[in-house]
Structure 1
Amino acid sequence: MVVPAFGHEFKSKYFTLLDPNVTLINHGSYGTTPTCVIEKQMEQCKAAELYPDEYLNETAEENYKHQVKVLAEYLKIDWRNLALVVNATVGINTVLRSIKWDFSKDKVLFHSTSYGACGNTVKFLAEYYHLQYDVVEIEYPVEDDQLLAAFEEKLSTGEYRLCMFDMISSQPGVMLPHENLIKLCQKYSTMSLVDGAHAAGQVDLQFLDELHPDFLTTNLHKWLSVPKSCALLYVNPKHHATIQTTPVSWNYTAEGCQAIKDPKTAEEIEHNDHLMHNKFWFSGTVSYAAYFCVEEAIAFRKNICGGEEKIREYQWQVQKAAIEAITGVFGPGSKLMQNSTGTLTTPGLFNVSLPLDAKYSSIQQKLSTDFNFFRRFKAQCDVVARSKKAYAPFYFHGGDAWVRFSAQIFNEVQDYVVAAEIIKAIIMERLDEQLQLQK
């Protein structure tokens, strides 16, 4: 097999739906789907309309199971522990709202850089039902040992029933020592809920069948080339009986969804092996079009791209060149967010600081501490960046301004030069406007 050269030529051949005028360096937010996979999705949409009764009642279930098995084989994990859900946030909600909480005493631990939507799910349960929670404060760049120590200080108290943590955070876009965090949870008899929204397509997931966390969810549309929106939910077998779908539906009382305690016969064992499938393949009328493209997406990555190793090799290559180019544009003092052991960056995500002149210090302080002020400021910048077709998310962390970039197989270093110049100019222009308002 001859693997084609990645970069702009690859994009023009395999990502033909992308606007050629867009400098796409924010793949991490939503994902980008190859044309052949979108065509497969369109086929599925048409198939569903040809004869809905037949499609939903006779073909959908087996196709769903087939896609899960293909995915499991590719990721090298047990298909019986997997389900497809709409996105990682749904996966997190599915878990948190399936647990039989004792609201009088149960407590959840998560971290300050958790994805806001997932943190809000915990806060919802706290506000509506009085679930208790605590937060591990994290400021990057941080060493893995320091982060683990901060979690262990909390977990060692024995106060927490569940710990929710990222594999790869959104902002900052950095890797957490997730395998050691799983082990910490097990050490202190705390359930682990792993938010792997950015994991599939960036990180190997074989550890699921080795470490057996309680729960993990990961998007397939961000980095694994599946159409929007599709995610994987992993559930440890010991929780198959209690996990329920979002929404709760017919499957809640269906015979095939009830676990058999202490199964003894082969038939009873097989029944329990299919609980995840029976519960999740149908919870109401939905479009399966994205779900049924998993096999096509994997075929693209294997047969066209040459496999995960080739993809990641190129991502690391373009990322290295991009960091040098971006820091050159951002100017003296610009740096990559990294720790001493180099564990924070992932193949597809990296963060670069944008140094700000001392004259902006009061504005910078307000942007770092006043969330609503920052949101208004960012919204103004984002509108302009999108109009110039070169968008990447920026944020303040540890008092500094950072921009999160994505590296994908269709990127070249010039993309980052163009985007960095545009983003820097937009932010500086808005800062100057704020400076004038202060006078």
Structure 2
Amino acid sequence: MDIGSLTSTQLAYGAAAVGATSCTAYLLYKGVRSCLRSDAQRLREDELCLQDGAIFLNHGSFGTVPRSIVAMQQELRKEMEQHPDRWFRRLARQYFSENSAAAAELIKAPTDCVAIVDNATTGINAVLNSIPLSGDDEVMTTDWTYQPVKNTVDCVCERRGIKPFCMCLDFPVVSEDALVKQFKEGLAEHPNVRVCILDHITSPSAVLMPIKRLSAICHSRNVRVLVDGAHSPGQIDLNMSDLPHVDYYTGNLHKWCFAPRGCALLYAKRELKEEILPAVISWWWRKPFVERFNFLATRDQTQLFSVREALSFIQNKLGGQQAMVKHNSELASSAADMLARVWSTERLPIPHHLEAPNMKLIRLPLEGLIESAEDLMMEIYDRFNIMVCTFGIKGVPYCRISANVYNEFWEYERLGEAVLQLRTEKMCQMNAEK
């Protein structure tokens, strides 16, 4: 805030809020506080809309949208309302093309092979409903596949009369080679698999899968590869030319790329893209791949038209994706080590290079003390105003922390204290009930 722009009324209210005895004292308070703010605090207060006092350690679920992007989307809506016909008949088509091209540049793919869609789940549905499958064909997932994607597979298989195959992965992951070996064996046992869905980063377990090796195995058996990269854009440096055995790739832009929610990308190989249709068929379904995903009935698409601005925010405000990910990864790793030490537990037992950069898992010291790890998430929020993802893996409760540029180390320390407090309370309650 520019102190010189404050009105006398704002000064009076501000002085009262902080207990200052005068407007002059309040100005001094504001000036000192501005000088003492950390980079993360300054970014959060000046650039983001996050609620004061709340601790957000779960960026991976829903992301956050910068103030400038919110304002830009509002300007687009205003432009739409000023002349609806011009918008839908001309501008929307132009904006869709420009932002699809920006998404293509992000993953280093040809512009005619990448369309912007509402969500990674939207992209999954488009691909699975378009690929020709019949008879004894099988669609392969794993027990780490995101549940809505499993639901989509089950629905498609049931409607087409084909079979889903869910491979149970060994846990803990001993090594990348062991994981690759298990995929080879699973495909050998199921020779009718025609499509394999690979997570780039599993959710919620945050394992960075070796998709380059796994997709090569699939192609050696004539299996098409669809990658669910919901968490990857903005967290992984994507280059589709380096993934020659990936046939289709979809990833959200509203998580780690700061785009408005309901914004993702869908890539399809040039030789396969023309068979892919949107889940909703509308005006342009006979047009080329990118265009057919535009104008899916009359609707507000402004979130899709904010991609370029969101990527510019990362470049201009955060120093680019590489610098952003370096900061986030280091913070997440340091925080995970601290929490494992404070809780006397350990991080998820997987090789370090298979960890997602910005998300880390730590075992919670609450085994036998909680009925549902998922319910624990809202208990931590209700009690301590901390939002963090909690869930169970093979019956063991884990916490998944996310780290982004607005987070600070003390926030993870506060989480550590909160969980220890809950453990003490639950142990006392359990002993009292005996």
Q: Give the TM-score band, short-chain normalised.
A: 0.7 to 0.9
Picking from 271, 293, 296, the partner of 1:283 is 296
Q: Which amino acid aligns with 1:336?
A: R
Give the TM-score, by structure 2 length: 0.85
What is the 5 A alignment of 1:19-34?
A: 19-34=51-66
Q: How many residues align?
A: 396
Q: Residue in 1 aligned with 2:73?
A: 41
Match of 2:309 in 1: 296
Deviation of 1:176 after TM superposition, in Å, equals 0.7
Q: How does 1:32-431 map to 2 (within 5 A)?
A: 32-102=64-134, 104-142=135-173, 143-157=175-189, 158-208=191-241, 210-252=243-285, 254=286, 257=287, 275-330=288-343, 332=344, 334-340=345-351, 342-356=352-366, 360=368, 374=372, 378-379=374-375, 381-386=377-382, 388-426=384-422, 429=425
What is the CA distance between 1:220 and its match in structure 2? Answer: 0.3
Give the distance between the partners of 2:167 and 2:139, measured in 1 at CA.
Answer: 11
CA contact (8 A) 2:376 2:390 kept: no
Cα distance, 1:386 vs structure 2? 4.4
Mean alpha-carbon deviation: is it higher for 417-426 or for 287-296?
417-426
RMSD: 2.3
Give ranges in structure 2 of 5+ residues lacking alignment: 1-36
The equivalent residue for 1:260 is: none
For 1:268, the equivalent position in structure 2 comes to: none
Range 34-43 or range 213-222, more displaced: 34-43
Q: Note the C-alpha offset of 1:380.
A: 6.1
Residue 126 of structure 1 and its aligned partner are, at CA, apart by 3.1
Note if contact 1:337-1:352 (Cα within 8 Å) is conserved in structure 2.
Answer: yes
Write the distance in 1 (CA, Å) between the matches of 2:211 and 2:250. Answer: 13
1:123 shift after superposition: 1.3
The amino acid of 2:151's aligned partner reads: N
Distance 1:58 1:105, change over 3 A: same
Alignment-derived partner of residue 7 in structure 1 = 40
Computing the radius of gyration over CA atoms, which structure comes out larger, 1 or 2?
2
The Cα of 1:249 is off from its aligned counterpart by: 2.1
Q: In structure 2, do the counterparts of structure 1 residues 381 and 240 end up closer, same or farther at CA, with 3 Å as the change threshold?
A: closer
Q: CA deviation at 1:278?
A: 2.1
Render the CA deviation track for 1:96-145: whole Å, top value 9, x for unaligned: 1112221x211011100100000111112233433201111124431211
**Unmatched 5+ stretches in structure 1:** 258-274, 368-373
Shift of 1:428: 6.4
Q: State the SS of the aligned residue for 2:56.
A: coil
TM-score by length of 1: 0.84
CA distance in 2, matches of 1:150, 1:428: 41
Whether the 8 Å CA contact 2:133–2:160 is kept in 1: the answer is no
8 Å CA contact 2:228, 2:250 repeated in 1: yes
**For the residues of structure 2 that align with 1:433 and 1:129, how far apart are their CA atoms?**
52
Distance 1:21 1:56, change over 3 A: same
- Report if the CA contact (8 A) 2:202-2:209 is conserved: yes
Q: Tell me the alpha carbon deviations over residues 134-169 of structure 1, each in whole angstroms, 9 at most, x when there is no partner.
A: 111124431211111111112234220100110001
In structure 1, C-alpha distance between the alignment counterparts of 2:218 and 2:427, rounded to whole Å: 44
Q: Is the 2:377–2:390 Cα contact (8 Å) retained in structure 1?
A: no
Amino acid at match of 1:95: V
